[in-house]
Structure 1
Amino acid sequence: MSWLITLNLSNNYLTGVIPNSISKLSQLLSLDLSHNSLTGQIPRKLIKLTSLEAFSVAYNNLSGPTLDMKAQFGTFDNRSYEGNPNLCGPPLSKSCFSYPNRKWPSTNEMDNDQRDKSIDFLILFSSFALFFVVSFWCFMAALYFKRNWRYAMFTMVDDYGDMIYVRILLFVRKIRVAQRDN
């Protein structure tokens, strides 16, 4: 898609890192990734976008230094980066030299975090599924061994079924009467 001129992905609830492949969109004049949940550093390869006239990564969770104030990136002010409290460097007032020993997370570390989150989700989902299956079969075993519980359960289901059936019939009758009157 090297023919692409404008890429506006703002307000899309995007997560993860900004992909390096965006730097291959050589005709890009406008890039807006603002108001998402992007993390990690801004890829250095974006400097290859020499025809860029508008750029915004505002209001994400980006960290590390901003892109060098060279060529087209020298024309973008702090509004392009605002809302990212962990970004530093020009044109922002926060200097990266204030963090001399800070190691900014790399793309690989961000990918590992994403993998960890998906493993956590898988464990959470599996434990809920296991809980549901065990609970269901315990309930079924209790109904099997406790005759009075079984009778009470089926009587309750039968009563609710009858009640729902009567309500549906009354509703259908009301509709038919309303149609006849019109």
Structure 2
Amino acid sequence: MSWLTTLNLSNNYLSGSIPDSLSKLRQLESLDLSYNALTGKIPRGLTNLSSLAAFSVAYNNLSGPTLGLQPQFDTFDNRSYEGNPNLCGPPLSQSCFSNHDTKLPSFPDGAEDHRRDESIDFLILFGSFALFFVVSFWGFMAVLYFKRDWRFALFTMVDEFGDMIYVRVVLFVRKIRAARRDN
């Protein structure tokens, strides 16, 4: 997928380390990996993304130096790295050469509540659609079961539609064959 220009994987509860294979996405202009549970270091290979204009790994549990002194990455500010207490180096104020305590990532006020609210909203929306589909489908089936003339009308209409499609496909195929013969 070297053609990919935007990759937003934020708020997906991803865990593990950031794969170095992301550096193969040479056309990438925006990379957002924020609000996940990513650990480890930021891969140096990401410096190969010369078109990168937006970058965020905020609110994970990353450690080690940022890519802040590398080309392209020196344009990103603290917000790209915030919420990773074990990251150090520019643009962060924490130096990589001092002893620092290992802390758990902190989320801004209400971030966890916001995630919970989003997942509840999604469940309500999905449940509503599922309920609507089930009620509509079985309601329609019940009407067809009890209304014999509607059932026959529907089946006749579907049969006629199928015949019409069949005739059009046959005519189209004949037209193509005639055009090939003429050439």
- Shorter chain as denominator, the TM-score bin is 0.5 to 0.7
* Counterpart-to-counterpart distance in 2, 1:91 and 1:68: 6
The list of structure 1 runs, each at least 4 consecutive aligned residues, that deviate by more than 3 angstroms after superposition, is none
Residue equivalent to 1:97? 97
Residue equivalent to 1:35? 35
Which structure's CA Rg is the greater one? 1
Residue equivalent to 1:121? none
Q: Deviations over 1:61-110 (max 9, x none)?
A: 0000101423211100010000000000000000001049x9xxxxxxxx
Q: Deviations over 1:19-76 (max 9, x none)?
A: 0000000000000000000000000100000000000000000000101423211100
- Total equivalences in the alignment: 101
2:90 counterpart of 1:81: no
TM-score w.r.t. length of structure 1 = 0.54
Residue equivalent to 1:60? 60
Q: Where do 5+ consecutive residues of structure 2 fail to align?
A: 102-183
Residue equivalent to 1:4? 4
Q: How big is the alpha-carbon RMSD for the aligned residues of Structure 1 and Structure 2?
A: 1.5
- More helix as a share of residues: 1
RCO comparison, higher one (Cα < 8 Å, 6+): 1
* Counterpart-to-counterpart distance in 2, 1:96 and 1:30: 26
The percent identity for this pair of structures is 76
Q: Where do 5+ consecutive residues of structure 1 fail to align?
A: 103-182
